[in-house]
Amino acid sequence: MKRLILALVFAIIVTAFALQNNRPFAITLLVWRVPRLSAALVIISSVLFGVILGALLAWRERLRLGRLRETKPTPHAPGEPQ
């Protein structure tokens, strides 16, 4: 529940920031150039990209840890048959 509240607060702050900074500007990345793009669109799409990338990396790590737990032998108490 705490994470959900923090995520909602973060989303509200990012949305308010993006809407207040919505003037168009030019973006240049190496040889690629976009002449006029809204700052709100850039901010919100960057945050969404980061959230999606973070979720994919966390999901991959969870799968990796799940596989490690499946292959790891479980310890037996002394005197118990294995």
Please check whether residue 80 lies inside any domain of the structure: no
Please check whether residue 81 lies inside any domain of the structure: no
Please check whether residue 50 lies inside any domain of the structure: yes
Give the pLDDT score at 49: 92
How far apart are alpha carbons 23 and 48 in whole angstroms? 20
Please check whether residue 62 lies inside any domain of the structure: no
80: confidence class by pLDDT, cuts 50, 70, 90: low
Between helix 39-71 and helix 2-20 the angle, nearest 10°, is 150
Does residue 79 register a pLDDT over 80? Answer: no
Find the domain containing 19 and state its range: 2-54
Please check whether residue 43 lies inside any domain of the structure: yes
Please check whether residue 79 lies inside any domain of the structure: no
Number of domain units in the chain: 1
- Render pLDDT for 2-27 as a digit per residue (tens, 0 to 9): 888 988 898 888 888 888 877 888 88
- Render pLDDT for 26-78 as a digit per residue (tens, 0 to 9): 888 888 888 888 888 888 888 889 989 999 999 988 888 877 776 666 666 66
